Structures are given as C-alpha cells and as structure tokens.
Structure 1
Amino acid sequence: MLRVIISIVLLALLVTGVVYQQLQATINSRLKAPANTLFEVKKGTGFNQLCQQWQAKKWLDECLRYQILAKLDPTLTDLKAGLYQLDNATVLDNIRQINQGKQVSFSFTIIEGQSLRDVLAAISKAQYLRQDLSLSELSQQIVGSDQHLEGWLFPDTYYYHANDTTSSVLKRAHKIMQNVLDEAWQKRAADLPLKTAYEALIMASIIEKETGLASERPLIASVFTNRLNTNMRLQTDPTVIYGIGADFDGDIKRKDLINHTPYNTYKINGLPPTPIAMPSKAAILAAVNPPETEYLYFVAKGDGSHQFSKTLKEHNKAVQDYLRYQKQLSKLE
C-alpha cells in the first residue's frame, strides 16, 4: 500500500513538473512577429480568434497552451480593439499590451501660419485618421454657422489612434485655441483698438504671416495697432495674398492691389473679415499687448528681418535701401 502511495505521489510530482515546465515555456515563449509589426484587433475579436490569427501568421506554434493559460487567468481574454505595434517580446507581453489598450499613436502637426486650406489638405493625408465631416460640417460643429474656421486651430502636434476622426483632432485644436485666446484677451492692454477677441485673432494671424522672427512680432503688432489708432489702412500683403487664394502665383501684381476685395487691406479700412492663418500663442500675445512705439511702417531688409520706420520719409528710404540690396544680389547671381 505504501509503495502504491509513493508511486502516486511521484507520478503527481512528475506531472506537476511537466505542467510547470510547459507553463514556463508558455510564459517565456516569444511572439515571432517581425519587429514593429502593426496589427489590428477588430471590435469583437475573442481570445481564441486572436490566437488562431497569430498561429496562421506563424507568429506562435500552437494555441492550446495559451487557451489553458487564459482559463487560469481570465483577464487575458479582455481584448481592446485597436491598432497595436507588436514586437519580439513574449506572447503574453504582447497580449497584455492589448489587454491594456496600449495602441500605437500617430501624430498630426498644425504649423504656425498655415491656412485652413493647408491644414485640411495635410490632415486629409494623415495615416490611419478617418475623414468624417465636410468643411461646412466641421465649421458648424466647431465654431458654429456664424463664423469661419480659419484661424481657430491652435498650431501644435496632436496625437491620435487609428480610426480616430478628423473632427476629433480638429476639435482639440480648436479648444486649445479658444482657451489661449480667452486667456490672452482677459489680459489685453486697456487702450487696444480691437473690440473683440475675434478681432484679436484676426490681428494675430496677420502678425504671424508678416514675420518669421519671434523677436519682431511685438513690433509688427505695434505698427498695425498704431495704424488702426490713426485710421490708416493696414496695407499688408499677406491679406491680399489670402484673398487671391489658390490663384496666387507667388507674385503680387498691381491689379491685385487695386482690386477691391474684403481682404485687400490696401483698399479696405480696418481688419479683414476673418483670420488669414493659424496664429501662434506668441502672435496672439503680441496682438493684445503690443509695445508702445511710434512705428507706422516696416519693410523687408532682405535678411529675413524688417526695417521699422516712424515716418513715410524714413520708410521710403528703407524701401530704396531694400531695392539696392536686391539689385546687388541679382548681380551676384
């Protein structure tokens, strides 16, 4: 009898050892997927189905051990739909990633100074992002029917998951812009010639397009503020270019400057009806708190910066200096 009991105990230990070895082999087994493989877990995918898919791709040898393990640990069967980046870690590590919903992230960047047309063209090509709404539907949902979406999307990098929608990304960009604009408007200068936060957004977009130098934004803002305060027209090329739209060929012609459009600030008084680009936070802050200067004019110097002038006489001289600079450059070519 004792011999039988000993035999049973030894057999049980042997079986336990074999099971333990198999369990360890299962736990330590690596997924044979190529590095950085993207794999979509579709909604409703079950644990057994996932194992079979991976086995069909020859990423694992067989499913039975993992099905047994899932019986011992039911949390493994909680699969969250999405797109995942798999690697040559253990099979269980990759499954845990799916359990936790750690999907691969993609990014989309709105660049300072981009127009709405530029942003929409870029986001239409964003990988794994679902296009869900037309421009009119986007405008209606984000800013309402009484406003244009131009200017309302904050320049930044936005992260998303596969099958997220275009509108979800743009709504985040709008919310941030709204918060930045509201905060800046609350701290605006007391004597600002702008009546609403929206006018500040329009002004900021013009400032953004007029210079690529951060240090110049406040000075540009002061020029436009001074011109508004003295009832001078803004006379800024970027608004004219925006009004021309897709027909702009890179060169502003005389007819463009005399053509009476809502965006031709050589012809209209005050601001254009909408922003002309997506302004940065720095441009917004410059628009609502411009420094006190006597500048009324500025012109390019040819090196990316501008010459600022208080009088038309000074400005005309700066223009002549710029033209001489351009002439010298042409001789060197």
Structure 2
Amino acid sequence: MVKVIVSVLLLALLTCGIGYQQLQTTLHNKLAVPEETFFKVTKGTGFNQLCQQWQAKKWLDNCWRYQILAKLDPTLTDLKTGLYQLNNVSVIDNIRRINQGKQVSFSFTIIEGQSLREVLAAIMKADYLNQDLHLAKLAMQVTGGTKNNLEGWLFPDTYHYHSDDTASSVLKRAYQKMQRELDIAWQQRAENIYLNSAYEALILASIIEKETGVASERPLISSVFSNRLKSNMRLQTDPTVIYGIGADFDGDIKRKDLTTYTPYNTYRIKGLPPTPIAMPSQAALLAAVNPPPSDYVYFVAKGDGSHQFSKTLSEHNAAVRRYQLNKSN
C-alpha cells in the first residue's frame, strides 16, 4: 500500500513538473516574426482564430498550449481590434499588447505657414489613414458647418492617429486646437489693437507667419502691419499676392503680379485680405494681437532670412538698394 501511495505521489510530482515545464515553455516561447511586423486584428477575431492565423504564417508551431493557457487566464481572449506591431518577444507578450489595445501610432504634422492646399496634399498621402475627405464639403465635415473656408484654421502641430482613423477626424482636432489657441490669443490682445475681431487676428497672423524668416522678428513685422493699418496704408506684402495667384505661381513674383487685381493683392486693396493665407503658429497669433510700439512702416528682406526695418520711405529705398539691388547708398 505504501508503495502505491509513493508511486502515485511520484507520478503526481512528475506530472506537475512536466506541466510546470510546459507552462514555462508556453510563457517564454517567442513569436517567430521579423522585427516590427504589422498585424491587423479585425472585428470579430477570436483567440483561436488569432492563433490559427499566426500558426498559418509559421510564427508559432501550434495553438493547443496557448488555448489551454487561455482557459486558465480568460483575459487573454479579450482581443481589441486595430493594427499592432508584433515583435520577436514571447507570444504571450504580443497577445498582451493586443489585449491592452496598444495599437501602432502614426503621426501627421501640419507645418507653420502651410496653406490649406499644401495640408490637404500632405494628408492625402498619409499612411494608414482613411481618406474620407470630400473636398466639396470639406469645411462642413471638419467644422460641423460653422465655417465656409478652412484656410488658417488648422493649428500647426503633430497629430497622432491609429490605423483606419479618418483624415477628417485628424483635421477636426487641428481645427479645434486652432479655435482654442485663437481664443486664448484674442483674450490677451492689446487695448489699442487695430483689429475688429479674432478672425482678423487670424488673417494678420497668417501674413506674419509667411513673412517671418527669423522667429524673433514676428513682433516687429506685426508692428509694421499694425502701423500701416492705423495709417490707412496698404499692407503691400508679397505673400498675399502669391496666395492670390494660387497654383499658377511659378516661384518668381513679377511686376505685373503686383499690379493685377485679386482680392488678396495687398498692393491693390486696402486693409486685410478676405481670409488667412496660411496656418499661423501660436507665436504668430500672439504677435498679431500684441504688436510692440514702433515707428516702423517698412521692411525689406536682407537675403539671410532676416529683415531691415525702416521708418521712412527714403530709409526703405536705401535698404532696398542695399539688400535687393546690391548697390551701396
């Protein structure tokens, strides 16, 4: 009788030992995938189906051991849909990543000074993004019908998204962020500012953004435009002319471009153009609503990204000769 009991105990211990060994093997078996392999878990995919898909790809040798483990730990069967990056770590670690919904994250960046046309061209090439944009209804899609034109309304930043997120949802987040940033800037506006609305501030900020080559010059550029608006002078800024030309602009602004009327040609119109011309940064928004006091009404590019600021036309003409025509005074 004692021998029988001992034999049973030994068998039990052996079975436990083998079971423990199998458990450890199951827990530490690596998924045989190349590094950074993408795998999509579709809606309705079950645990057994997932294992079979991986086995068919020869990423694991069999499913039964993982099916047994899932019986012991039912949380393993909670698979969240999405696109996942699988690595050559344990099968269980990869399954846990799916349990926790740690999908691959992609990003789309709106750059300061980009026009709406440039933003749309870029987002239509974004990887793993559902291209749901209907250009005829674009503003309504993104703003819920509150805007007719998205120009200037998308805040420059990097926006993260997951596979199958929509392009319109990314742009909607950019729009909502610009709304918040513009509201904050407008609340901080100077008392004597020569702007009638937050939208005018957005328009001016977009022009400042396009004129800025050196970030520290944004306030002075804003000051020049503010002084011109107060003095009823035309803004006479090339970026608005270029925007008015649109896709036909060949990279070289000509004299006839400055004299041809468009609603954006600030050599021909007084005041601000009808809409923004680009996506302004937070710094440009703040510069637009807080121009520092100055007597500057002119500036000219030096050729290195910076500008020479002038108070009188004679000073400006001398700066043009020096920096644009390469002539001395």
User: Which interval holds the TM-score relative to the shorter structure?
Assistant: over 0.9
Q: Deviations over 1:274-304 (max 9, x none)?
A: 0000001100000000100000011111222
Deviation at 1:155, TM superposition (A): 0.6
Percent identity between matched residues is 74
TM-score (norm 2): 0.97
For 1:97-136, list aligned pairs within 5 A: 97-136=97-136
Q: CA deviation at 1:220?
A: 0.4
Q: What is the letter of the counterpart of residue 216 of structure 1? A: E
Which has the higher mean CA deviation after the structures are superposed, 193-202 or 145-154?
Answer: 145-154
Q: Which amino acid is 1:34 matched to?
A: P
Query: Residue 295 of structure 1 aligns with which residue?
Result: 296
Match in the other structure for 2:175: 174
1:52 match: 52
SS at match of 1:85: strand
Q: Which residue of 2 aligns with 1:311?
A: 312
> For 1:261 and 1:97, how far apart are their aligned partners in 2?
55
Q: Secondary structure at the match of 1:307?
A: strand
1:11-50 matches, within 5 Å, as 11-50=11-50
Aligned counterpart, 1:94: 94
Deviations 1:137-175 (A, max 9, x none): 230133335431000111111111111110111111111
**Deviation digits for residues 287-328 of structure 1, max 9, x if unmatched?**
000100000011111222111111111111111112343x79
**TM-score normalized with structure 1 length:** 0.96
Distance of 2:140 and 2:200 partners within structure 1: 20
Kindly state the Cα deviation for residue 19 of structure 1 after the two structures are TM-superposed: 1.1
- The corresponding residue for 2:283 is 282
- Provide, for residues 7-29 of structure 1, a one-character-per-residue CA deviation record: whole Å limited to 9, x for no partner: 22221221111111111110111
Alignment correspondent of 1:331 = none
Deviations 1:29-65 (A, max 9, x none): 1111111111111111100011011111111110000
Give the letter for the 2:83 counterpart: L
Whether 1:188 and 2:189 are equivalent positions in the alignment is: yes
The Cα shift of 1:251 comes to 1.1
Return closer, same or farther for 1:146/1:154 CA change in 2, 3 Å cut-off.
closer
Q: 1:224 — aligned with what?
A: 225
Give, in angstroms, the shift of residue 6 of structure 1.
2.2
Name the SS for the 1:24 alignment partner. helix
Q: Distance in 2 between matches of 1:215 and 1:241?
A: 24
What corresponds to 2:158 in structure 1?
157
In the alignment, residue 226 of structure 1 is paired with which amino acid? N
One-letter identity of the residue aligned with 1:132? D
**Pairing of 1:268-279 with structure 2 (within 5 A):** 268-279=269-280
1:134 is displaced (CA, Å) by 1.3
Q: Name the structure 1 match of 2:201.
A: 200
> Deviation per CA, 1:115-153, whole angstroms, max 9, x where unpaired?
000000000000001111213323013333543100011
CA distance in 2, matches of 1:277, 1:40: 37
Q: Deviations over 1:156-208 (max 9, x none)?
A: 11111111110111111111111111001001011111101000000000000
Q: Where do 5+ consecutive residues of structure 1 fail to align? A: 329-333
DSSP 3-state at the match of 1:96? helix
After TM superposition, give the deviation of residue 85 of structure 1 in Å: 0.7
Ranges of 4+ aligned residues in structure 1 off by more than 6 Å: none
Helix, strand or coil at the partner of 2:324:
helix
Cα drift, residue 224 of structure 1: 0.3
**What number of residue pairs does the alignment pair up?**
327
- Structure 2, gaps ≥5 residues long: none
SS of the residue 1:295 aligns to:
coil
